[in-house]
Amino acid sequence: MNKTEYSGLKKIVSWNVNSVNARLPHLLDYLRTEQPDILCLQELKCMTEKYPKADIEALGYGSQVFGQKAYNGVAILSKSPLELVSENFEDNAADVSARFIACRQNDVVFMCAYVPNGQSLGSEKFLFKLDWLHRMRKYLEAKFSPRDKIVLVGDFNIAPDDRDVYDPVGWKEHIHCSAQERESLSLVTRFGFIDTFRIHNQKNGQFSWWDYRDGSFLENRGLRIDLIFATPSMALKCKGSRIAFEQRSKERPSDHAPVESFFDI
């Protein structure tokens, strides 16, 4: 999908910025030139007080921010008002990580998720990751219906299938690609979500993350782990999706590129 095809459509974006303050020049440049309607950020890596609110407001964007010291942190940005729905899953879990925020704008709920990395199969962090996704499913069931208009985006830290992995044989049953993780992701999506990137595009080799090391981006050795899901009523309105690779070519980039889906709403 090229830029002329999406004029007039609402642009909804997911971007793991790997520190909002380290990435501030790129973020402001992206807001100025790309004018997203909804921008969901993950890995702010700062407390809410340290979020660069004023610089972002100067470009006309408001933010709903759920920050945390050093790690994690998520935010949703828009030029139109966003009403906070929830931070994390409101399930009284002994989980202090700031990884989920949901906001409403008109009749659509936007959810921004930073799914735990999981480190390695069978580790404590791996079990936390699977449990986190199960908690997300429970949250969805408790508060929403698949008939609602919901756009759920984020860094899922799971490549949905082998087309989303540069070396599926080498990554088989490795973290981000294991059957257990894919099953837990499927548990969430079976609530009623469609992967909007795949509505109009079935090709392999299209990635949203590339390791900083070893020239991975130049060789396109990456994974598609940043995903934009929508419930059917919203997915019907999705006209296309693209990955903003150009952001990954910049100097001192995030290791993730923004993923953009375009909606006729």
- The whole-angstrom separation of Cα 221 and Cα 219 is 5
Whether 6 is a known active-site residue: answer no
Q: What is the enclosing helix (H) or strand (E) of 140?
A: helix 124-143
Residue 60 Cα distances to 35, 81, 125, 135, 169, angstroms:
10, 11, 38, 35, 46
- The whole-angstrom separation of Cα 104 and Cα 29 is 26
Q: Side chain identity at 233, as an amino acid letter? A: S
Q: Which stretch binds DNA (CB under 7 A): 56-64, 105-113, 209-217, 230-238?
A: 209-217
Contact residue for DNA among 38, 150, 152, 176 (CB under 7 A): 176
**Binding of DNA at residue 18 (CB under 7 A)?**
yes
What is the distance, to the nearest Å, from the Cα of residue 29 to the centroid of all Cα atoms in its chain? 19
**Binding of DNA at residue 70 (CB under 7 A)?**
yes
Please, which of residues 226-245 interact with DNA by CB under 7 A? Answer: none
Q: How many helices (H) and strands (E) does the chain have?
A: 5, 14
Nearer to DNA, 54 or 218 (CB): 218
Q: Give 145-158 as a DSSP string.
A: -TTSEEEEEEE-S-
Whether 155 is a known active-site residue: answer yes
Under DSSP, the state recorded for 187 is: H
**Binding of DNA at residue 125 (CB under 7 A)?**
yes
Task: Give the x/- contact pattern for DNA in 27-66, rule: CB under 7 A.
Answer: ----------------x-xx--------------------
Site residues for DNA per CB under 7 A: 16, 18-19, 21-22, 43, 45-46, 69-71, 116-117, 119-120, 125, 155, 157, 175-176, 209, 211-214, 223, 225, 252, 255-256
Supply the residues annotated as catalytic: 114, 155
